[in-house]
Amino acid sequence: MAEFFLPRNSTVKKGKAYGAPDGARRTRRFKIYRYDPDAGANPRYDTFEVDLDSCGPMVLDALIKIKSEQDPSLTFRRSCREGICGSCSMNMDGKNGLACTTAIEDLKGEIRITPLPHMDVIKDLVPDFTHFYAQYAAIEPG
C-alpha cells in the first residue's frame, strides 16, 4: 500500500462526492486524491461515480470522462495512451502503474487513485518529475 508523507499537522480529508448521471446502470466509484498547493487547504479524496456503459475500458478513460463531465479542475498527465511515455503513471489501489494500460475491470470495488508515492505532488495526480529527469540525464552507458 502506498504511503504519503504530509506536512506536520495535516491530514487527508474527505472531499466532494459526484454521483453518476441519472439512468446509469453499470457504475464504478473512483476515490481520487486531490491537492492544490495554491489553495492552502489540506489534501482530500473526492469520490466520483462513473457510468461504465459510456466510458472506455481503461482507468485513463475514466479520468478523462470525470474531467470532461464532472469536474474540469481534476489534474493529471497523459500523452501517448499506448503505455510508451509513462506520463499517466499513478498509484491505483496501492499499485503503481499506467492509467492507460490498466483496465477498470482488473481493479475490484471502489478504485482509489493517488499520485506516485515517492514523488512530490505538484497538483492532484501530477508528480514533480524534476528529480527523475535529473537522474535520467546523469545515466551514462557502461
Instruction: List the one residue out of 25, 13, 29 whose CA is nearest residue 70.
Output: 29
Query: Residue 29: helix, strand or coil by DSSP?
Result: strand
Answer yes or no: is pLDDT of 9 > 60.
Answer: no
Answer yes or no: is pLDDT of 26 > 60.
Answer: yes
pTM for the model stands at 0.86
Is residue 43 within 8 Å of 35, Cβ to Cβ?
yes
Answer whether residue 102 is part of any domain.
Answer: yes
Answer whether residue 94 is part of any domain.
Answer: yes
- How many separate domains does the chain show? 1
22-47: burial string, b at 16+ Cβ within 10 Å, e else: eeeeeebbbbbbbbeeeeeeebbbbb
Supply the range of the domain harboring residue 66.
13-138
Q: Domain of 36: which CATH number?
A: 3.10.20.30
Chain segment 58-91, per-residue pLDDT in tens: 999 999 999 999 999 999 999 988 888 889 999 9
- As a whole number of Å, the end-to-end CA separation of the chain is 35
Q: Which of 2-11, 15-24, 67-76, 120-129 has the highest mean pLDDT?
A: 67-76
Answer whether residue 3 is part of any domain.
Answer: no
Answer yes or no: is pLDDT of 7 > 70.
Answer: no
pLDDT at 13: 80
Answer whether residue 105 is part of any domain.
Answer: yes
Answer whether residue 4 is part of any domain.
Answer: no
Average pLDDT over residues 121-126: 94
Name the more confident of 132 and 3. Answer: 132
Answer whether residue 41 is part of any domain.
Answer: yes
Instruction: List the one residue out of 54, 30, 45, 46 whose CA is nearest residue 104.
Output: 30
Residue 131's H or E segment, with its range, is: helix 130-138
